[in-house]
Amino acid sequence: MSLLLVLEERGGKISRPSWEALAAAHRLALTQEITAVVIGAETEALAAEAAAKPVGKVVRVEHPLLKTYTADGFSLALHQLLQSQNPTHVVFPHTYQVRDYAPALACRMGQVLIGDVTGIEDGPIFTRQLLQGRLNGSYQHSGNGPCFVSVQAGAFRPDSNPDSNIAALEAQSNAGPASIELFAPTLDPAQIRTKPGEPFRESAQTVDLGSAQRIVSVGRGIKDADNIPLVQALAEALGAELAASRPICDNGWLPMERQVGSSGQTVAPKLYMAVGISGAIQHLVGMKGSQCIVAINKDPDAPIFEVADYGIVGDLFEVVPALTEALKVARG
Ligand SMILES: Cc1cc2nc3c(=O)[nH]c(=O)nc-3n(C[C@H](O)[C@H](O)[C@H](O)COP(=O)(O)OP(=O)(O)OC[C@H]3O[C@@H](n4cnc5c(N)ncnc54)[C@H](O)[C@@H]3O)c2cc1C
């Protein structure tokens, strides 16, 4: 097995979902060598960052036309790399960017992308959710050519999956940084059919909950849109992003981009605080990968407590202001 992992840049650094994809790649490759790929017009710093991780080698796919992301540029450049490397598996983080170009790349190689994978079993057999989380589907690659896989945010935590514990692998590795190679694809401006605009997140001023370290999420227990500022204040005191369950967004109390769950965003913060959220399965699939889950709910039997690390059984209208005040005092 030869495995190629395509890392994604965000703000001049390798993105956190990329490290989760590395954890998935280790689950897939086990003892096999992983080739990490960074792509752009100037990839030296990204390559150095990747080379410090437990990978066999790093390939810098570099070309001036890759300065800004385009689906044409990325898929053409990576297609040339794949033809030269001939890997058995190609792994990506399941990001907006990957969703945009990876299916076209897989198609160029006569393959499909097994997208949004949440589990990998021996075989390898890949699990992905169907019908908005109500069913799990199992997929196995067959035939010739590479197997293309993108992994869901939060499904493969670098520091909690024993098969893919990046920190432990780093500690074991005495070999120093991985070697770095340069790959210069042949690209022509006429091949790039789209003119890139500003990245989606910045231009639309939307929130990337998938990258948030702390999230305070509000559910129907809040009762009315006028009460949202109560939870907003807690989020601010914690330096957290504000998110919500679906009814809150359906009611227009918060924008849809803040919805967590099977039909919203998948998140994996260090801290997820669920306020007045019952813990329906469609919500849980979007946040159960969080490192620490704190639930505030007046119903001691609410399903959210089954996944919570800490639970406060109580009225959120009492608990939330008290918590916000205590945090403000603690922070000075
Ligand atoms: C196809 C499909 C896709 C879906 N996708 C999503 C999705 O992406 N995300 C999502 O969240 N849902 C989704 N849902 C909806 C999901 O099934 C639930 O209906 C929803 O998650 C419930 O939201 P909630 O927990 O805020 O509300 P409820 O289930 O109504 O829970 C409210 C909770 O607040 C507690 N509460 C009430 N008052 C107080 C108080 N004063 N103090 C403390 N606690 C209090 C209650 O005990 C209760 O547990 C989807 C459903 C379908 C069918």
How does pLDDT run across 280-300, given as a tens digit for each residue?
877 987 898 899 999 999 999
The verdict on the CB of residue 263 being under 6 Å from ligand 1 is yes
Q: How far apart are CA 273 and CA 80, in angstroms?
A: 45
- The Cα–Cα gap between 213 and 227 comes to 24
CA 219 to ligand 1 centroid distance, Å: 6
For residue 114, how far is the Cα from the chain centroid? 15
3-class secondary structure, 54: coil
Give the pLDDT score at 275. Answer: 98
Distance 277 CA to ligand 1 centre (A): 5
Q: Which long-range contacts (CB under 8 A, 24 or more apart) does 316-319 make?
A: 316/221, 316/222, 316/230, 316/231, 316/275, 316/276, 317/227, 317/230
The reported pLDDT for the residue numbered 165 is: 57
pLDDT of 288: 86
DSSP bridge partners of 200: none
Contacts of 117 (CB under 8 A, 6+ apart): 24, 94, 126, 127, 128, 149, 150, 151, 152, 155
Does ligand 1 come within 6 angstroms of the Cβ of 129?
A: no
241 Cα to the center of ligand 1, angstroms: 19
Q: What are the structure tokens assigned to 293, written together?
A: 């889950």
Residue 114 to residue 151: CA distance in whole angstroms: 9
Its pTM stands at 0.68
Question: Is 227's C-beta closer than 6 angstroms to any atom of ligand 1?
Answer: no
Q: What is the pLDDT of residue 133?
A: 58
pLDDT of residue 202: 41
Q: How far is the CA of 224 from the centre of ligand 1 (A)?
A: 14
Q: Distance between CA atoms of 241 and 208, rounded to whole angstroms? A: 9
Q: Is the CB of 278 under 6 A from ligand 1?
A: yes
Greatest Cα pair distance, the chain, in angstroms, is 63
Give strand pairing partners of 119. 127
Element (H, E) at 92: strand 89-93
311 lines ligand 1 (CB under 6 A): no
Residue 139 to residue 119: CA distance in whole angstroms:
10
Tokens describing residue 197: 């605009």
H-run or E-run covering 295 = strand 292-297
* Neighbouring-strand partners of residue 179: 57
Closest ligand 1 atom number to CA of residue 132: 1
Distance CA(144)–CA(131), nearest Å, equals 29
Cα 301 to ligand 1 centre (Å): 14
Is any atom of ligand 1 closer than 6 Å to the C-beta of 108?
no
Query: Which parts of the chain sit beneath pLDDT 70?
Result: 1, 30-32, 131-134, 154, 157-175, 199-206
Structure tokens at 156: 């493969």
Distance CA 265, CA 281 (A): 14
Determine the distance separating the centroid of ligand 1 and the alpha carbon of 248, expressed in angstroms.
9
Nearest ligand 1 atom, CA 316: 42
- Whole-number Å distance between alpha carbons of 6 and 101: 12
Instruction: Using the mean position of ligand 1's atoms as its centre, give its distance from the Cα of residue 225 in Å.
Output: 15
| Residue 302 CB–ligand 1 contact under 6 Å | yes
